[in-house]
A and B are shown apart, each in its own frame.
Chain A
Amino acid sequence: MALTNQYIQEKLQEKFGDIVSNFEESYNVLSFEATAANNLKVLQFLFDEPSLQFQFLTDLCGVNFPDDAGREISVVYHLHNLAQNIRLRLKIFVPVAAPDVFTASNLFSSANWMERETYDFYGVNFVGHPNLKRILNVDEMDYFPLRKEYPLEDQTRIDKDDEMFGRG
């Protein structure tokens, strides 16, 4: 039987009830939200359940919504069932004050660096991660640069010494 988004949604709601919510379909990909405390349970269920088999973690990244109080940091998982060729998007929201999410690196080896990258740029604390340190930025950096509170440099600023840039 071909796997459909509707079936995935029913299966998840039947198993998890209120833990999963906000199901929506965009460009044929089903995306839904799970509570932060249960992300691993949902991922494990999607991995193990014989009729679902989402065993390939395509992508993991963070998103920052500064205006959404209590849900500022989001972690987005893109899963892929390669046999049935169907994609799925799982989102977790955590407050910026306590961005704790359980690590998926025991389930997917590929999550290791992607979680480090998400920590590096958004400061998400992946609980249980074997080696949670910065990966692309320098270790001494003391902020999380992809958060919206750090704007890119104002391109109209005039206090720079042009001579230093060969435009003197």
Chain B
Amino acid sequence: MLAHQQQHITLPEGSIEKQTTTLNVGPTHPATHGVFQNIMELDGERIVSTEQTVGYIHRAFEKLAERRPLNQITPITDRLNYCSSPINNMGWHLTCEKFLGVQTPKRVDYLRVIIMELARISDHLICNSIVGVDTGAYTGFLYVMQYRELIYEIYEEVCGSRLTTNIGRIGGFERNFTNTAFTKLEKFLVEYPKVLKEFENLFTRNRIFMERTIGGGAISAERALNYGFTGPNLRAAGVDYDVRVHQPYSSYQDFDFTIPVGKTGDNYDRFLVRNQEMWQSLSIIEQAYKKVQEFKGADAEIFHADVPAYYLPKKEDVYTKMESLIWHFKIVMGEVDMPKGEIYNAVEGGNGELGFYLVSDGGRTPFRLHFRRPCFIYYQAYPELITGGMLSDAIVTMSSLNLIAGELDA
């Protein structure tokens, strides 16, 4: 039977049966990689319509943020896109710094770039290898996990935790990078390119993989823009919008890199764009590491800006200096008043433009904080992407969109 032909049986008149089958995919299903529910109407294996339900893990982050001082909001941002928490953390710090008018030293910017690009690699790595899993190739996923582990070890060395990192502080980092952190970074820079090359060999020209992904879940650039796509998903449709280039933050203007774009916006192009971005991220990390190494002596000890109202003083100073004690108390108790005003600031997250809209009435906590969560916005397009296609393609489309339930539900 040809694929475009109707597959349903004709029911006798007066039948109470439907012509289509209703299938519940989710809320918890191994193929959704998160808590998503889709109630699909199927005609054979072809999708006639789908209705999405989201919000299963809504945790009221925006309400919580309204009674937390700025530095206590960072752990909330961890739990948005938990595949690349450091980018969320940095995005929040950068928003606060821009709002408060804090200038960070160059070395801090470069260290942040290293961490953010590592996070981007680990985010893309998960997404692309999961696309592999959903098309039946588990090997790639298991193989690259080892290197995500190495990235997590670097986080651990810098901030002490792995998944919900709470990395950095307003003004810089909580401590300087240790030598072990740099050694691990060097190991990553040496070993990872070979792994990525092998990962590409496994998929990029693999006939089964290509046939499963080419043409599935395609979207035109015009529709993608109208749907508010950002990040790799928008770039796969052919629009070269990248916050790192359009509104450089954390000294991204000092780095030399290109924005990979696709053409058709289908699952295969999204996969290719993410792979290309990982190569770009690697090159950015190399450049940043080189720049970091140029700081010698006292300059190599700089890891934060001077922001007494938000950056905790050294512990020995708290015990010996009156002013440090006062600031320590004010920060810990959340008694620092913010300036009045409003700001929208965005960073290029793992899956798109992650924005923070902060409204302050001059109090100690934000009056209103809204997170622009990229996947909440582009997940709306999912029915349009999969209707008319096969159920098995819908699963691949979902994983190639890089949906993270934690971010979607806030």
Contact = CB atoms under 8 A, between A and B. Distances in A.
Interface of A: 26-27, 29, 31, 55-59, 61, 63-64, 76, 78, 82, 85, 87, 89, 108-110, 112-114, 117, 121, 134-138, 145-146, 152
A106 B271 CA distance: 31
B67 A109 contact: no
Contacts of B67: 152
Interface of B, helix, strand, loop or mixed by DSSP: mixed
A61 B359 CA distance: 12
Given A59-B370, A76-B357, A114-B377, A31 B227 contact: no
B279 interface: no
A92 to B, nearest CB: 15
Given A78-B355, A109-B380, A136-B409, A87 B241 contact: no
Nearest to A67: B361
A88 B365 CA distance: 25
A85 B353 CA distance: 14
Contacts of A121: 62
A29 B344 contact: yes
B228 to A, nearest CB: 3
B380 A113 contact: yes
Contacts of A152: 63-64, 66-67
B405 to A, nearest CB: 12
Interface stretch (B53-61, B73-81, B327-335): B53-61
Nearest to B345: A27
Interface residues of B, number: 42
Contacts of A59: 344, 355, 357, 370, 372
B226 A110 contact: yes
8 contacts: A26-B342, A27-B345, A29-B344, A61-B357, A63-B367, A78-B344, A112-B380, A152-B63
Contacts of A112: 380
B309 interface: no
Interface string B325-357: 000000000000000011111100000010101
Contact of B63 (A110, A113, A146): A146
Given A55-B225, A61-B357, A110-B228, 17 more contacts: A27-B99, A27-B344, A56-B225, A57-B228, A59-B355, A63-B368, A85-B247, A87-B344, A89-B344, A109-B223, A109-B226, A110-B380, A113-B379, A114-B376, A135-B55, A136-B409, A146-B62
A78 B58 CA distance: 23
A31 B342 contact: yes
| Best-surrounded residue of B66, B239, B246, B357 (most CB of chain A within 10 A) | B357
A120 to B, nearest CB: 9
B381 interface: yes
A56 to B, nearest CB: 6
B384 to A, nearest CB: 8
Nearest to B68: A152
Given A57-B228, A58-B372, A137 B58 contact: yes
Nearest to A131: B51
A86 B21 CA distance: 47
Nearest to B247: A85
Contacts of B60: 145
A138 B53 CA distance: 11
B61 to A, nearest CB: 10
Nearest to A111: B228
B225 A58 contact: no
A112 to B, nearest CB: 6
Contacts of A134: 55
A110 B370 CA distance: 16
Interface in B121-163: none
B386 interface: no
A113 B227 CA distance: 10
A26 B343 contact: yes
A109 B381 contact: yes
A26 B55 CA distance: 33
B377 A113 contact: yes
B410 interface: yes
Contacts of B346: 58
Interface in B199-226: 223, 225-226
B98 interface: yes
Nearest to B359: A63
B64 A58 contact: no
Nearest to A89: B344
Contacts of B64: 152
